[in-house]
């Protein structure tokens, strides 16, 4: 990499405007260098102030802990929140770190050759209380470890950068999970809570201890261009889990994982019912997924705050257990309604369509057996699937059928060792049209039905990203 002269002031934080002014007075070489090293990237907001992790004592040797460097950098940069915001740049190198907390009006930018390595020293991971909509941890009843990158009660946060890498070094945690040695829930890689205006984009995320990206109780979220990779047998390595979030757009992500590529959630049984915060107005488009034992997109199983208005377009799954799967249970309460998906290309699937009303998995015996989930208005169309074992397994709940199911324009080519029946349906109500192979009697074929897909735009779709530039910083 070409090194350019770098100018800094005593506070180690330089406004872009002052860089431009100083460089303007220097010679042509600097300008050329400047051009060479100029990086442009899209973001919800650009920042006035920049700093490098190395300004705060960061060492990118893969061995030295950078927890303190991140902490002091972000603490310092938080002072610029009301003065144009600030950006922390992680240069090329391997940066070992424990968890750190983000701040508002802030961008974390990874150079393409930057790798964040998550610490495997448990004492470096702060403990957080359980999520109020879950009532307990997912791995253990008690509290939970902080995520590697954590933020709560923030506005306007960007995590991005040229496909740089965040490596959760999850094997330590997967091992403890398998040996049942966890008494706290494993960390997630990125968790943002109670926040507004979030962007997570253009990164490679590998080997999270558990879920990768977990926005919860938040709104106006753009997740774009993530490559998420974990071994297909790693435990609970969900890709992206929008959880009790409003207005979310997930685009152009490529996910290989040991659990659902995207899992849409909203709290668990009596805790989620009480918390009452749905996930709604969610767009998922151009997702590619490989997950042999899980779903491309799961709705639930934690859905007690409700899930509604989900719009899915142009998704591809290869060697994945199912395409979109609804998972729920007696005791969940809540609802999954107004779900729309069009354009699925699938290859090597156990089930194309899968709905499970008996998922079980309760936080504790205190769930209300009268809290029945309402599943209605589920619309799937324009599906081409190859090498499929079962076309559909659709199990509603007796005395609580899943209704308003519409499936149209579907061609499923079943695999050589095809199992019968192709469609296994109980406690569901709906229609189909132009579907091969012929669906179950509970979903009679009608002529010329085109299942609906909304035409209006959600507010999150109108958010335009600005072009930000980083000049002469590396």
Long-range contacts of 425-428 (CB under 8 A, 24+ apart): 425/392, 425/394, 425/395, 426/394, 426/395, 426/396, 426/398, 427/357, 427/395, 427/396, 427/397, 427/398, 427/400, 427/401, 427/402, 428/355, 428/394, 428/395, 428/396, 428/401, 428/402, 428/403
Q: Beta strands 114-118 and 164-167: pairing type? A: parallel
Assess 395 for contact with ligand NAG (CB under 6 A).
Answer: yes
Assess 196 for contact with ligand NAG (CB under 6 A).
Answer: no
Assess 389 for contact with ligand NAG (CB under 6 A).
Answer: yes
Q: How many CB atoms lie within 10 A of CB 162?
A: 16
The residue from 139, 259, 269, 382 that is catalytic is 259
Stretch of residues binding ligand NAG (CB under 6 A), selected from 53-61, 113-121, 307-315, 387-395: 387-395
Between residue 328 and residue 357, which ones bind ligand NAG under the rule CB under 6 A? 343, 348
Q: Can you tell me which of 72, 169, 227, 413 binds ligand NAG, judged by CB under 6 A? A: 227
Q: Tell me the backbone φ, ψ of residue 72, rounded to 5 degrees.
A: -75, -35
Q: Can you tell me which of 18, 34, 374, 424 binds ligand NAG, judged by CB under 6 A? A: 424
Assess 409 for contact with ligand NAG (CB under 6 A).
Answer: yes
Between residue 96 and residue 135, which ones bind ligand NAG under the rule CB under 6 A? 99-101, 126, 128
- Residue 61 Cβ, how far from ligand NAG at the closest point, in Å? 21
What are 256's strand-pairing partners? Answer: 229, 290
DSSP state of 445: B
Output the residue with the shortest Cβ distance to ligand NAG. Answer: 225
CA distances from 82 to 48, 79, 246, 323 (A): 10, 7, 25, 44
User: Which C-beta is closer to ligand NAG: that of 30 or that of 68?
Assistant: 68
Assess 224 for contact with ligand NAG (CB under 6 A).
Answer: yes
Q: Can you tell me which of 22, 59, 371, 384 binds ligand NAG, judged by CB under 6 A? A: 384
Assess 436 for contact with ligand NAG (CB under 6 A).
Answer: no
What are 416's strand-pairing partners? Answer: none
User: Catalytic annotation on 243?
Assistant: no
- Contact between 342 and 315 under an 8 Å Cβ cutoff? The reply is no
- Residue 386 Cβ, how far from ligand NAG at the closest point, in Å? 7
In angstroms, rounded to a whole number, what is the distance separating the alpha carbons of residues 78 and 98? Answer: 19
Assess 426 for contact with ligand NAG (CB under 6 A).
Answer: yes
User: Which C-beta is closer to ligand NAG: that of 16 or that of 346?
Assistant: 346
Assess 471 for contact with ligand NAG (CB under 6 A).
Answer: no
Cis, peptide link before residue 400, omega less than 30° from 0: no
Assess 449 for contact with ligand NAG (CB under 6 A).
Answer: no
User: Which C-beta is closer to ligand NAG: that of 343 or that of 452?
Assistant: 343
Cis, peptide link before residue 437, omega less than 30° from 0: yes
User: Which C-beta is closer to ligand NAG: that of 238 or that of 395?
Assistant: 395
Q: How many CB atoms lie within 10 A of CB 58?
A: 22
In angstroms, rounded to a whole number, what is the distance separating the alpha carbons of residues 131 and 143? Answer: 9
User: Which C-beta is closer to ligand NAG: that of 30 or that of 452?
Assistant: 452
| 186 CA to centre of own chain | 17
Number of residues that bind ligand NAG (CB under 6 A): 35
Between residue 232 and residue 291, which ones bind ligand NAG under the rule CB under 6 A? 252
Contact set with ligand NAG (CB under 6 A)? 41-42, 99-101, 126, 128, 146, 150, 152-153, 162-163, 181, 183, 194, 201-202, 204, 224-225, 227, 252, 343, 348, 382, 384, 387, 389, 395, 409, 415, 421, 424, 426
Positions marked active-site? 259
């Amino acid at each position: 990499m070409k090194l350019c002269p770098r100018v800094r002031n005593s506070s180690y934080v330089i406004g872009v405007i002052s860089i431009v002014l100083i460089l303007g007075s220097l010679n042509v070489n600097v300008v050329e260098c400047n051009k060479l090293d100029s990086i442009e990237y899209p973001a919800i907001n650009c920042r006035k102030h920049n700093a490098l992790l190395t300004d705060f004592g960061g060492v990118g040797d893969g061995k030295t802990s950078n927890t303190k460097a991140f902490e002091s950098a972000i603490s310092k940069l938080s002072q610029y929140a009301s003065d144009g915001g600030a950006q922390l740049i992680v240069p090329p190198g391997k940066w070992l770190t424990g968890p750190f907390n983000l701040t508002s009006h802030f961008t974390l930018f990874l150079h393409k050759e930057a790798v964040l390595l998550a610490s495997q020293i448990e004492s470096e991971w702060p403990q957080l209380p359980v999520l109020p909509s879950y009532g307990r941890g997912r791995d253990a009843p008690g509290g939970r470890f902080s995520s590697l990158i954590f933020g709560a009660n923030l506005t306007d946060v960007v995590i991005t950068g040229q496909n740089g890498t965040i490596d959760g070094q999850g094997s330590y945690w997967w091992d403890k999970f398998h040996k049942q040695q966890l008494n706290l829930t494993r960390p997630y890689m990125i968790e943002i809570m109670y926040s507004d205006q979030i962007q997570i984009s253009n990164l490679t995320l590998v080997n999270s201890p558990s879920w990768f990206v977990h926005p919860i109780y938040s709104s106006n979220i753009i997740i774009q261009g993530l490559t998420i990779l974990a071994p297909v047998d790693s435990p609970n390595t969900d890709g992206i889990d929008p959880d009790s979030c409003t207005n979310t757009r997930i685009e152009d992500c490529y996910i290989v994982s040991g659990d659902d590529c995207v899992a849409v959630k909203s709290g668990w049984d009596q805790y989620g019912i009480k918390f009452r915060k749905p996930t709604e107005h969610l767009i998922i488009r151009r997702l590619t997924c490989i997950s042999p034992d899980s779903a491309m997109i799961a709705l639930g199983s934690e859905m007690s705050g409700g899930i509604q208005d989900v719009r899915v377009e142009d998704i591809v799954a290869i060697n994945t257990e199912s395409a979109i799967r609804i998972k729920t249970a007696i005791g969940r309460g809540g609802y999954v309604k107004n779900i729309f998906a069009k354009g699925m290309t699938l290859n090597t699937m156990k089930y194309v369509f899968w709905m499970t009303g008996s998922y079980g998995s309760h936080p504790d015996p205190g769930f209300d057996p009268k809290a029945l989930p309402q599943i209605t208005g589920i619309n799937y169309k324009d599906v081409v699937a190859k090498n499929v074992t079962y076309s559909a397994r659709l199990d509603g709940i007796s005395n609580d059928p899943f209704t308003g199911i519409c499936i149209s324009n579907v061609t499923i080519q079943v695999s050589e060792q095809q199992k019968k029946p192709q469609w296994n349906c109980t406690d569901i109500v709906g229609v189909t049209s132009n579907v091969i192979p012929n669906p179950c009697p509970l979903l009679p074929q009608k002529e010329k039905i085109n299942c609906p897909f909304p035409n209006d735009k959600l507010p999150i779709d109108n958010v335009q990203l600005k072009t930000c530039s980083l000049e002469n910083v590396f």
